[in-house]
């Protein structure tokens, strides 16, 4: 039996590129929405005369996988695991 050199190629499926492109587009929209929201919050606080340093914001990016929720932006992802 000749084992020789083999090249491993990833499994692909029809429409894979379109799906990846769609997911990437949706991720960009989400990131832009979060950034615009943060800019709006800070701008409105500045106009109202609040101290900019007194505001604390926590942003979560949740993923549902195998009936479990994960916060993908958390430093300790296992600590934020919810069921």
In a domain, 70, yes or no: yes
User: Is 36 a domain residue?
Assistant: yes
Same domain, 17 and 39: yes
CA angle, residues 37, 56, 50, in degrees to nearest 5: 80
Same domain, 39 and 56: no
Reported confidence tier of residue 79, pLDDT bands at 50, 70, 90 = very low
Does 1 fall in a domain? no
Q: What is the residue range of 83's domain? A: 52-83
| Domains of the chain: total | 2
Q: Do 18 and 35 belong together in one domain? A: yes
Same domain, 46 and 57: no
pLDDT digits 0-9 by tens, 12-71? 778 888 888 888 888 888 888 888 988 898 888 888 877 767 777 777 778 888 888 888
Does the pTM exceed 0.75? no
| Pair 82, 71 in one domain | yes
Residue 45 burial (C-beta neighbours within 10 Å; 0-12, 13-18, 19+): middle
């Amino acid at each position: 039996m000749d084992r020789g050199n083999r090249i491993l190629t990833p499994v692909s499926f029809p429409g894979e590129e379109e799906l990846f492109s769609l997911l990437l587009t949706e991720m960009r929209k989400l990131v832009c929405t979060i950034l615009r929201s943060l800019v709006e919050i800070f701008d409105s606080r500045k106009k109202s005369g609040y101290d900019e340093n007194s505001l604390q914001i926590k942003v979560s990016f949740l993923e549902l996988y195998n009936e479990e929720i994960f916060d993908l932006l958390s430093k300790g992802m296992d600590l934020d695991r919810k069921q």
